[in-house]
Structure 1
């Protein structure tokens, strides 16, 4: 079994390796262009700024592959545990990339 080592980002000390890996998989997916990518982006951007970027409809989980939905569940737990925004965890550039893809009118 191959184990992929993911380098730690600044500010992620409160995140375990499984949570960090799930978040980073979702970020990678959200930068893509498919329907599943859009659903993942909606979830992540609702965390970033739900008022400006839109909310996440929980029924959107029904249209995701099970492993992606599982990553969302993991990150949802992480969000409730950390009580912090993703930019405080070192992911600001990634979230700005997602905004450019899915909310270009908000990119500035």
Structure 2
């Protein structure tokens, strides 16, 4: 049985793949990180320009839209730590965002 395209399982798989990508050092990795960090905390980590979808391959765009579809169907807010990925997100903040520690 194939899971629904916007199921929690599909969103989990998409999140895992995007985190793996965001840990690398490519233009697509930067765009994946921008999406993940905007979802994690857009106010502090920056927002995701929708035009960034033009700079990723179709598989990566599908991962992003799978998460967006899941979030749109989910009642209430859910963030990556709701998938148990808080430590990975903190790692991505350190990798992609340079915050002063005053």
Q: Distance in 1 between matches of 2:100 and 2:18?
A: 21
Uncovered stretches (5+) of structure 1, i.e. residues with no partner? 1-13
Alignment partner of 2:48: what SS? coil
Q: Distance in 1 between matches of 2:98 and 2:71?
A: 25
- Whether the 8 Å contact between 1:99 and 1:106 is mirrored in structure 2 is no
- Residue 26 of structure 1 is aligned with which of 18, 42, 45? 18
CA-atom RMSD, angstroms? 1.7
- The number of equivalent residue pairs is 93
Give the corresponding residue for 1:6. Answer: none
Uncovered stretches (5+) of structure 2, i.e. residues with no partner? 1-6
Give the corresponding residue for 1:67. Answer: 59
- Residue 42 of structure 1 is aligned with which of 10, 17, 34? 34
Q: Distance in 1 between matches of 2:15 and 2:99?
A: 24
Q: Distance in 2 between matches of 1:27 and 1:104?
A: 18
